[in-house]
Structure 1
Amino acid sequence: MTGNPASQAARQAENSPVFRVLARLGYAVNGLLHVLIGIIGLTVALGSGGGESADQTGALGQLATNPAGRALLWVIVVGLFALGLWQVVAGFQVSNSDPKKAWGKRASEFGKAVAYFAVGATALTFALGGSKSSSDSSQSASATALATPGGVVAIVVVGLVVAGIGVFFVFRGVTRRFTKDLSLPSGAVGTAVVVVGAVGYIAKGIALAMVGVLFVVAAVTFDPAKATGMDGALKALAALPFGTVILIAVGVGLIAYGAYLAARARWGKL
């Protein structure tokens, strides 16, 4: 893989200082979005929310309400698309003596790229003055899928995959495997980054696992309204016994995950 033109172009791109700075910007703005999502989650838990969605669209919508925030949206667009391109480049740079492992790693990198591009496209919609609801999009897609042969199975598979990703996030937080992505300084700063990273990964994992569960429930009950993405997952947590306490913990954890991503923008390995 390392000798073909795509890999050579990817290697040249990786060596670009400007590209590296933009990729780090992507981590920083993604961290900002998670901080805003966590804050919205806290307002939902405390009953003081203004109706914003507790997900990326809610966070982006808040930024779009004032001129400074709208300008920041363009920074977010640039950062997320740059980070998505960085993941594509990383995918082409994967090399492994075991072809199956190599393709698995490439699929992971390309999957991250798709996720960053998707959020970047949503940010672009808001930057251009439009609006979007991820909950409505999830429900619409689920309704379409349920109306097609095999749609129930497809939604169950999607739900299980998302829940599995959530479990993986929790695993990385508990085991602190995420530290291999960082070149941390010693002392209190490095320790603080590891702590907020662990808390953040666990909280993000819980939220993603809930999203996956809701997709499975939507398929089993044949009710696309239950497939509501991150916003629905956090609000579902609030409806559980001691849900307010759980949602506050998850909201704080998402803010911690945002802080970790800011640290990764500074000390992450590229």
Structure 2
Amino acid sequence: MNTTSSNASPSGAARKAQNSKAFEVLARVGYVVLGVLHFLIGAIAISISQGSGGGEADQGGALAQIQQSPAGVFLLWAIVVGLAALAIWQIAEAFLERNPDDKKKWAHRAKYLGTAVAYIAIASTAFVFASGGSSESSDSSQSLSAQILAVPAGVVLLVVLGLGVAAVGVAFIVRGIGQKFMKHLAVPGGSVRKAVVALGVAGYVAKGIAIGVAGILFIVAAVTHDPEAAGGLDAALRSLTELPFGQIILWVVGVGLALYGVFCFARARYSTM
């Protein structure tokens, strides 16, 4: 009786899912496709820094390039399946209550559920492309900002959203500099470990900068009451070119995002799952 009840609980279901070898393989595929996407985003950002245009430097732009490639539809469906599996894996992690303290337990759940939502969002965009559609993430961000500004206290809400996104960016930077990502990896010592650490630090910091700038753009949109000031990852990266030495900064961030993509390949191999 107790066994049945345990298996029926969210925690029991989560453990059952995580014990499936086939499901673990799919989740690792999810890290591989994340690596491909970030590598392409980094390459697009580098292209923009050199004045070559290059398309949208975000998930939508990366997926559009995949859509136009040979076997693009097959790859897009692989992305949908891999990221969906990775999202379910994150949800399973959220319900494995490893922290007896309630505050830590809910922080644990919020972290993994938030990550799962991000993976589901990318998988949904990939599904649109796999079905022959397209997506304009920057327009979506501007539309969201316009909708928020239109409601009472919309300026405050948009500032809170911007601060939240910026905080995620800071968290990525802190995680990278502190090498906290290594606790979830079983990496052998020597040169392999040093390479994975270097990839992780560079990748997390670069991604943190990009996300942080996106958050700042939401705050700017709120303060100026201009929804068009907001934008997604592509707008954030392009805004870097307006800074002193902006093209160099964007090039460095683009390289960092590409390295984060390579780190995701290592994560697929060495993650303790």
State if a TM-score over 0.5 links the two structures. Answer: yes
Paired with 1:98 and 1:225, the residues of 2 have a C-alpha distance of: 43
TM-score (norm. length: structure 1): 0.97
Equivalent residue runs for 1:1-270 within 5 Å: 5-50=9-54, 52-270=55-273
Unaligned runs of 5+ in 1: none
Paired with 1:104 and 1:171, the residues of 2 have a C-alpha distance of: 17
Question: Aligned pair in 2 of structure 1 residues 81, 247: CA closer, same or farther (>3 Å)?
Answer: same
Partners of 2:90 and 2:113 within 8 A in 1? yes
Question: How much has 1:69 moved relative to structure 2?
Answer: 2.0
What one-letter code is carried by the residue in structure 2 that aligns with 1:212? G
Question: How much has 1:73 moved relative to structure 2?
Answer: 0.7
Classify the secondary structure of the residue corresponding to 1:64.
helix
**Identical amino acids, percent of aligned pairs:** 54
Partners of 1:196 and 1:257 within 8 A in 2? yes
What one-letter code is carried by the residue in structure 2 that aligns with 1:125? V
Paired with 2:202 and 2:69, the residues of 1 have a C-alpha distance of: 31
How large is the RMSD of aligned CA atoms in angstroms? Answer: 1.3
Question: How much has 1:95 moved relative to structure 2?
Answer: 2.9
Paired with 2:98 and 2:32, the residues of 1 have a C-alpha distance of: 28
CA-to-aligned-CA distance 1:202-226 (integer Å, 9 cap, x gap):
1011111100100100111011111
Question: How much has 1:66 moved relative to structure 2?
Answer: 2.9
Unaligned runs of 5+ in 2: none
Partners of 2:56 and 2:234 within 8 A in 1? yes
Partners of 2:7 and 2:13 within 8 A in 1? no
Paired with 1:189 and 1:101, the residues of 2 have a C-alpha distance of: 33
What one-letter code is carried by the residue in structure 2 that aligns with 1:26? G
Question: How much has 1:94 moved relative to structure 2?
Answer: 2.4
Partners of 1:2 and 1:93 within 8 A in 2? no
What one-letter code is carried by the residue in structure 1 that aligns with 2:18? E
Classify the secondary structure of the residue corresponding to 2:186.
coil
